[in-house]
Structure 1
Amino acid sequence: WEDLMKRINEMENKYLKDLLNNIFSDEDVVAKYRSAPGGEYVHHGFVGGLLEHVWEMIDFAAPYQKYYPEADYDLVTAGIILHDIGKIIEINQVGTVFEFSTEGALLGHMQLGLELADKNRPKDMPRKLWTHLAHIIISHNGMFAEQKPVTIEAAIVSVVDFGSSRVRQYQQQMKDGLEKPDEISQYSKFIESRVYIGDRVWE
């Protein structure tokens, strides 16, 4: 968590930095963000899963700066940190059990995250910058979202989000199959495929 706050305070864009610091000045938000799952069960579905998912995405996005310098990486980082923040409201945690809240079931995490960010944005934040950040939040599900990514920053966030979540699903299938004699898993409705769960001994 301390590393994430350090990353935020290293941002050059004061509006994004102030927005994030406004959000995380609320101790209740911080506690929920640190303990929330990345999802109810699809990926990173465990206590602290959201924070782990966010860090994976930040790490995945870092090499893009070399190849795509046109993008604003403060905006990318802020988008990554906020893309799933609505899940702290969408999903209730009872011990290690997760269930949808009423607001979560009715509005979904993108709308809830957008509302939380909007409530905490600095009054002097340029409308153009806010629109680009809001776009990342509502388009981060990429091909699965109603609003597709239109900006390069939204595209990067969408791609690294998909990479983190999808590869984690494969990893989970492999872990679940450790004690099984089969080399191929049962069909996964989330991956829309079966997964090879056998060993990597080639000879």
Structure 2
Amino acid sequence: MARMEQVSLMELGKLAAEGQLEAEVFAQIAQCAQKMTKGNKPYLDVSFADAEGTMGLKVWEDKPWFRTLASLPLRSFVSLRGQWAKGGFGMEVSDLDVRLLDEREKESFLAGSGTLKKKQEADLKEICVLIKGMNDPRIRALCIEFIEQFGERLQRAAAARTYHHARRGGLVEHVAGMMRTASAVCQANPGLNRDLLLAGCLFHDCGKLWENCYPKEDFTMPYSEAGELLGHIPLGIELVNNLWKRIMSLPEADSWKTLDPPSPDVRMHLLHLIASHHGELAFGSPVFPKTPEAVALHYIDNLDAKLEMFRGAYETSEALAPRVLQRKAPLPANVVLPLPSVLPLEPDGADAMP
């Protein structure tokens, strides 16, 4: 078959909603279960995954690709090429050609789409720049130690299992977005401890490196015993405590003994940010936010998550009317397309300010 331009699973869903199209996607087989219709006819219920999302596909027994997909091991990396459309059972396909990816294709596929990969690389670079600009040497050393030890794992973690930044590398995007917002908030509110708040953004979800982390060669997020028994807040507190002990053993730590505020207070306030960032006991935080930085972190986290939910809804929700799209959980209502900004006018005399 002749090669064609690839699309992601998310792009395929959007294009198929507009009408039938021929397309090729690279995907990983996340789940494949053989089931029976009410008429006792077997079919496959297959779930595919890539760096940006998932897609379900029902494959009936009379299709030539039924046996091909049934014979492939779970987690196989495949190319899917066919005529795609949205139907009564979700995504539908005809004339499907299925083949395994070669090693070069697999390596490129695991790195994510070009656009997503570039964004996450830029986000990680911005995180590192903000860390290097910190004034408090203890917080800066703590953040650098975290990136050096766990930066690779950070780039594989999701910010959530569903709802927002729920993709490989999504945690990098979420943290970078929060740190950008925190920097702006501190500029508007100079009384806030900027270094502490930026560190809170970096570490608030660091326990998700074990709760929501993808394996090195997998787009299916596993569950972990530590994530289930403890959750990301206790895991994050334990991680920061261990990293803090490590940086306090560095040679330069002797020069920190005269700093004000004292190091034990800095550690305690950072741990409070992690513990309280969900905002309410009912949402999993063991304590309420009790400092200005803790309150700011809670709202910055919520804001970045909510804006990502809107972006996701705009990309995947079906239109109900002009500019009105169907509600996407956990948003409370249907969403409306945003009003675009007015571009600045070129001064030409009439529009120039006096």
Decide: shared fold, TM above 0.5: yes
2: CA distance, partners of 1:184 / 1:5: 37
- Which residue number corresponds to residue 126 of structure 1? 263
Residue in structure 2 matching 1:136, options 269, 273, 278: 273
2: CA distance, partners of 1:23 / 1:9: 13
Report if the CA contact (8 A) 1:174-1:195 is conserved.
Answer: no
Residue in structure 2 matching 1:167, options 294, 297, 307: 307
1: CA distance, partners of 2:211 / 2:176: 20
1:82: how far off? Answer: 0.6
1:171: how far off? Answer: 2.1
2: CA distance, partners of 1:20 / 1:66: 21
Report if the CA contact (8 A) 2:327-2:335 is conserved.
Answer: no
Identity of aligned residues (%): 24
Q: Does the C-alpha gap of structure 1 residues 136 and 104 become closer, same or farther in structure 2, counting only changes over 3 Å?
A: same
1:61: how far off? Answer: 1.6
1:146: how far off? Answer: 3.6
How many residue pairs align between the two structures? Answer: 196
Larger Rg: 2
1:145-184 correspondence runs (5 A): 145-178=285-318, 180-181=319-320, 183-184=324-325
1:84: how far off? Answer: 0.7
In structure 1, the residue corresponding to 2:159 is in which secondary structure? coil
1:69: how far off? Answer: 1.4
1:55-94 correspondence runs (5 A): 55-94=176-215
Residue 23 (structure 1) aligned with residue 140 (structure 2): no
Aligned CA RMSD, in angstroms, stands at 2.1
Amino acid at match of 1:96: F
Q: Does the C-alpha gap of structure 1 residues 5 and 31 become closer, same or farther in structure 2, counting only changes over 3 Å?
A: same
2: CA distance, partners of 1:64 / 1:5: 19
- Which residue number corresponds to residue 49 of structure 1? 170
Residue in structure 1 matching 2:333, options 178, 188, 194: 194
Which of the pair has the greater relative contact order for Cα pairs under 8 Å at 6+ separation? 1
In structure 2, the residue corresponding to 1:38 is in which secondary structure? coil
Residue in structure 2 matching 1:9, options 132, 141, 145: 132
2: CA distance, partners of 1:23 / 1:184: 40
Q: Does the C-alpha gap of structure 1 residues 18 and 200 become closer, same or farther in structure 2, counting only changes over 3 Å?
A: closer
In structure 1, the residue corresponding to 2:230 is in which secondary structure? helix
2: CA distance, partners of 1:197 / 1:176: 13
Q: Which is helix-richer, 1 or 2?
A: 1
1:110: how far off? Answer: 0.9
- Which residue number corresponds to residue 185 of structure 1? 326
1: CA distance, partners of 2:308 / 2:298: 15
1: CA distance, partners of 2:293 / 2:266: 12
2: CA distance, partners of 1:197 / 1:165: 17
1: CA distance, partners of 2:141 / 2:235: 20
In structure 2, the residue corresponding to 1:132 is in which secondary structure? helix
1:118: how far off? Answer: 0.6
1:156: how far off? Answer: 1.1
- Which residue number corresponds to residue 35 of structure 1? 156
Stretch of structure 1 that moved more, 146-155 or 73-82: 146-155
2: CA distance, partners of 1:196 / 1:134: 36
1: CA distance, partners of 2:129 / 2:148: 14
Report if the CA contact (8 A) 1:177-1:197 is conserved.
Answer: no
Q: Does the C-alpha gap of structure 1 residues 130 and 198 become closer, same or farther in structure 2, counting only changes over 3 Å?
A: closer
In structure 2, the residue corresponding to 1:97 is in which secondary structure? coil
1: CA distance, partners of 2:312 / 2:291: 32
Q: Which is strand-richer, 1 or 2?
A: 2
Amino acid at match of 2:313: Q
